[in-house]
Every structure is written in C-alpha cells, then in structure tokens.
A and B are shown apart, each in its own frame.
Chain A
C-alpha cells in the first residue's frame, strides 16, 4: 500500500472517528450520571438520520439541520422522561432493560414508518464538495468532521467546567445521593445531560450519514455499540477520553476495512472492549474507584 493510500484511509478514519466521538460523548455523559448504558442512544442517532431526510424535502439545508438538531434533542429528553425517570429508584438491571426496550421500540417504529428498505441520505452540496490536496482528495465533510468535533468538545468542556450547570453535572456524577441532598435539581441535570448527548448525536448523525449515504432502521445499532466501546476505552465518564476513543476506533476500523478484514472490523471493536475491561477497566483516562465492603 502506498503512502498516499494510507494517508487517504487515515483521513477517512479521522472523519469517521469524529462522528464516533460525538456519539460516544452522549454515552459517557449519561453513564457518568445515571450509571446506565443508554442502549437507545444509537437509535436516537439513527432517528436523527431520518429526521434530516424528511426535513430536507421541504426546507433549505440550514433550516433542515436546525430542525433535525432540535427534534433530536427533544426526543432525547422525551425518552429520558418517559422511560428512565419512572425507574429512578429501581434496580440497575430494570433501567438497562428499559433502555433496551426503547431501542427495540425505536427500531420497530422506524421500520413501520419508513420501512426497512434503505433510504437515500440527501446530499448537501457544499458538504460533498471535493478538495484536492496534492494526491489526497477529500470531501468537505471529511475535513469538517474532526474540526467540528474538536470545536464542540472544547465548548462542552467549558460548559462542564465553568458553568453552574456543568458544576451540578459533575456533582451528580460524583455522588448522586449527596448532590440530591445538597439541593441540586437532579431531574433538570439529567435532562440537560440527555439534551447535550442527543444534540451531539444529531450532529454526529449528519456528519456520519453524509458520508454513508443511506439510512435503515438498524443503522444505529452497531455504530451505537462501537461508540459505547469508545467511551469505555477512553474511560467512562471522561469526555476527552470518549473523544480519543472515538477517533481511535474510527481509524482502526477504516484501516481494517482497507486491509480487507471488513467482517472483523466490528469484532475488533468488541475484542478491544473485552481486553480493555480486563486490563484496565477504568479506561485510558478513568479514575480508579474502590468498592467499600
């Protein structure tokens, strides 16, 4: 493989990784606060794909993007309210089952509404514009994705570290009960968390599907799980960790596909997960916690 091809693949990988990173943040935030693997997150991402398809049929692209992001965010908050809030005091297994149930519902609902046949993802002309850099060529979205990801992450970090809401989020993730006793409005914090997560999943969805060109009701499952792995890889609850994990998995996956091991690219992600959980369960940047007897 020539250097150019390798670079070309790396570029694609970085772009894919950027989208993964945005989705992984959603997992990491929710896990940090509720200790819940939000199995429905991948399906929120998939639904955002459909929202965009429909929004673009009647609106110009800037408005369509806005609509998609708003609707996705609202859906994230709505799902939390309907399916997770009633189970706040239930055992962890119940809430995880509820998340799986929501994922199941979203998949079936979208199969019903949009059929299982892949829908073409509309092209937003300026995103698909091809740039030529020496021998490398890339569409605008490929370059935009990592940049946009970094910008959003920086904004998010500022939000989490400098604002009052961010402080509340950190407090809740450190100690749910104590934060509650200190008068933090838990439900608001959780809603904000889901809103941020879903918003980023919406952005990730636009970037991801623009490159992939079609959406099916099941296109959220695997990317979703991979992004969770990315979050675990970087240390669950840790935002920069999720970003690093997202990029890492995106790049490795692209390279594996390029080398002809496409069937194993998914398997690799899970292999990575299992190895990580065994060797360093707290992830690359996670803190160690000791369980008290």
Chain B
C-alpha cells in the first residue's frame, strides 16, 4: 500500500501578476526519495517555501502526515488579480509558521547555505535540538534540566560522528570547506528529528566526486534515520541516481512526472530543457 507523507493540492503561488507556481499537485510517498526538477526560475524554491510555511499559497492546500498544515484561497486584493489555472478557490485558511512546521517533523536546507556562521559546528547542530526542549526558560537557566541538556549534548555528539564532522566540532562553521558546510546543513536539519527532509539544491557548486559522495550520503541517512526525502536539484546524474519519483516544473507548471526513466524520455521535458524546435 502506498503511504503518502506529504501532499500538495492545486498549490498556486502568485506574486502581484506573476504566477510563480501554478496548480502544483505533488504526492510524496513515505520512505522514498522524490525530486523536483526544472530549469532556473521554474518555481521550485517557491514551491519549497510554500510547503515549509515561508509563503502562504495564493490558493491550494498542503497536507503533511494527514494534517493540513497550510491552506489558503484568493483573498482581498488577490481575489481580483488571481490568475492561476486552477480556478476553484479553497475554503479555509490554515497558516503555520516555518518553526511550527519544523516541529511537526519537516526540516529543510537552503539553496544558498544558511549556517549560523559565527558559531561552531557543534553549536550549529545543538541549536537545532532546541526546538523540542521541554524545560522552560527558568528551569533551563538555573540548569534544573540537567538530564535533558546532557541528552542534547550527547545526541549532537552522536549525530556529528554519524555524519563525519566530529573532527571539526569546535571549528567555526563558516571556516569549513564548502562540501562540509553542505553536510553540516543537512546534519543540522537532521537534528530537529524530521520525518521528511527537504533539500534545496544540495549539490549546487559541487564537483562530480563530491556529488557522488553526496548521493551516497543521502541514501545512507535516508536508511539510518528512516527518512523520506524531497529534493530540488540541477545535477541530473544525482537526481536520476537516487530518486524514486521525479516531478518536472517549467514556468510554474508541472510538465511531467514519473520514474527517472519515464521522465528522461518525456518529450515535454526534453523540450523544456533543450528549447523548442520550431521547425
């Protein structure tokens, strides 16, 4: 039986008159790796931001783990200028801030690495553990939650060991080499204890060897952390290698979906990537 972890229904995101994401319907199966690909400016990152709560969609619904985490319909100004393909407005308005969604079990990385630059590798990961803290501010300040604190430190240590960054634990995160910064960002996302991991172009700027290592790394953490992975990527080798399902986006619209083999041979995809041959 197929078990769906994340579902988007008719997600449409319009900025002013520009429809950045148009009628996006994605189903992400549990324990699988799903990829979202498309040329630059196709609306991939926007789709990510809608899913993680950074933007409110203009119309559409996002369901995560059988819970509606985001839903909206064209309101006030948007009502007049709404120009999405899917016209039927949704009914409810459900808003969740990104932090809430993270605590529900969805963690992300960023296209342009966003580490806590001045803090150490260890602190970067440790901070991500804060979101599940039980102790309040006073208990925490007066160190009355020793057990919890000790467990946070221990888990962080273990996680760093797992991803191979323990040797760099006290280095400033901005002083790490590029590949390790990417890895640290993933480790930090893992520290929030996600069910679904969203990776925004994890291989951007990597050479073939690093990309290959990354693809192994993603498969490895997927297994050991029981993750479902959803990624945006440009490196076709990586995508074809690790994905189970691929969605192709162009100008905000979904032009193809299916297994890597299906997508690779889809004429619409070839057209989007190679340009239209008028002749």
Report A's interface with B, CB cutoff 8 A: 290, 293
Inter-subunit contact B45/A293 (CB<8 Å):
yes
Complex Cα spacing A293 to B20, Å: 14
Judging by beta carbons under 8 Å apart, are B15 and A293 in contact?
no
Note all chain B residues with C-beta closer than 8 A to A293. 45, 49, 54, 110
Q: Which of B3-20 contact A (CB under 8 A)?
A: 15
| Nearest CB in chain B: distance from A237 CB, A | 19
Q: Which 5 residue pairs spanning A and B have beta carbons closest together? A: A293-B54, A293-B49, A290-B15, A293-B45, A293-B110
A205 to chain B, nearest CB (A): 42
In the assembled complex, how far is the CB of residue B247 from the closest CB belonging to chain A, in whole angstroms? Answer: 20
**Which residue of chain A has its CB nearest to the CB of B52?**
A293
CA–CA, A290 and B46, complex, Å: 13
- Contact string against A for B residues 41-53, beta-carbon threshold 8 Å, 1 for contact and 0 otherwise: 0000100010000
Nearest-CB residue, chain A, relative to B111: A293
| Closest residue on chain A to residue B55 by CB atoms | A293
CA distance A290 to B15 in the complex (A): 9
A293 to B113, CA, bound (A): 11
Residues of B within 8 A of A290 (CB): 15
Can you report 5 A-B residue pairs in the complex whose CB atoms are below 8 A from each other?
A: A290-B15, A293-B45, A293-B49, A293-B54, A293-B110
| B45 cross-chain contacts in A, Cβ below 8 A | 293
Complex: A235 Cα to B110 Cα, angstroms: 32
Shortest distance between the CB of B170 and any CB in chain A (Å): 24
- Chain A residues within 8 Å of B110, by CB: 293
Q: Determine the chain A residues whose CB is within 8 A of the CB of B54 once the complex forms.
A: 293
With CB as the reference atom, state the residue of chain A lying closest to B15.
A290
Q: How far apart are A95's CB and chain B's nearest CB, in angstroms?
A: 19
- Taken together as a complex, chains A and B put the C-alpha atoms of A290 and B45 apart, in Å, by 15
**Least Cβ–Cβ distance between A275 and chain B, in angstroms:** 21
How far apart are A269's CB and chain B's nearest CB, in angstroms? 30
A290→B49 CA distance, assembly (Å): 13
Interface residues of B: mostly helix, strand, loop or mixed? Answer: mixed
Closest to B110 in A: A293
In the bound assembly, the distance between CA atoms of A254 and B229 in angstroms comes to 63
A293 to B15 alpha-carbon distance, docked (Å): 14
Report B204 CB to chain A, min CB distance, Å. 15
Closest to A290 in B: B15
C-beta contact mask, B191-224 vs A, less than 8 Å → 1, else 0?
0000000000000000000000000000000000
Rounded to whole angstroms, the CA-CA distance of A293 and B45 in the bound complex is: 9
Q: Which residues of A sit under 8 angstroms from B15, Cβ to Cβ?
A: 290
Task: Please indicate the chain A residues that have their CB under 8 angstroms from the CB of B49 in the complex.
Answer: 293
Q: How far is the CA of A293 from the CA of B54 in the complex (A)?
A: 8
B181 to chain A, nearest CB (A): 18
Q: What CA separation (Å) do A93 and B49 show in the bound complex?
A: 28
How far, in whole Å, are A293 and B200 apart by their CA atoms in the complex? 12
Query: A178 CA to B54 CA in the complex, in Å?
Result: 27
State the CA gap A293–B46 with chains docked (Å): 9
Docked complex: B110-134 residues within 8 A CB-CB of A: 110
Q: Report how far A134 CA is from B45 CA in the complex, Å.
A: 67
**How far, in whole Å, are A290 and B56 apart by their CA atoms in the complex?**
13
Rounded to whole angstroms, the CA-CA distance of A293 and B13 in the bound complex is 15
Alpha-carbon gap, A290 to B54, bound state (A)? 12
- Bound Cα distance from A87 to B15, whole angstroms: 35
Q: Give bound CA distance, A293 to B49, whole Å.
A: 8
CA distance A263 to B45 in the complex (A): 52
Q: Smallest CB–CB gap between B272 and chain A, Å?
A: 24
Inter-chain CA distance A237–B152, complex, in Å, is 47
Measured between C-beta atoms, what is the minimum distance from B78 to chain A in Å? 14
Chain B: minimal CB distance from A153 (Å)? 30
Chain B 27-65 interface mask (CB, 8 Å, partner A; 1/0): 000000000000000000100010000100000000000
Minimum C-beta distance from A19 to chain B (A): 38
Chain A nearest CB from B119 CB (Å) reads 16
- CA separation between A86 and B15, bound complex, in Å? 38
Q: How many angstroms from the CA of A232 to the CA of B170 in the assembled complex?
A: 44
Q: What distance in Å separates the Cβ of A291 from its nearest Cβ neighbour in chain B? A: 10
- Determine the residue in chain A with the shortest Cβ distance to B98: A293
Cβ distance A94 to chain B, nearest Cβ, rounded Å: 15
Report the Cα distance A157→B137, complex, angstroms.
53
**CB-based nearest B residue for A291:** B54
Give, as a whole number of angstroms, the nearest-CB distance from A286 to chain B. Answer: 16
Please report the C-alpha to C-alpha distance between residue A115 and residue B39 in the assembled complex, in whole angstroms: 67
**A290 CA to B18 CA, complexed, in Å:** 13
CA distance A293 to B52 in the complex (A): 11
Q: How far is the CB of A287 from chain B (nearest CB, A)?
A: 11
A290 to B110 Cα, complex, angstroms: 18
CB distance from B263 to the nearest CB of A (A): 27
List the A residue with the shortest CB-CB distance to B114. Answer: A293
Closest to B45 in A: A293
How far, in Å, is A167 (CB) from chain B's closest CB? 25
Instruction: Report the minimal beta-carbon distance from A289 to chain B, rounded to whole angstroms.
Output: 12
Name the distance in Å between B61's Cβ and chain A's nearest Cβ.
21
* A247 shortest CB reach to chain B, Å: 29
Could you tell me the distance in whole angstroms from the C-beta of A271 to the nearest C-beta in chain B? 27
Residue on A nearest B48 in the bound complex, by CB: A293
User: What distance in Å separates the Cβ of A282 from its nearest Cβ neighbour in chain B?
Assistant: 14
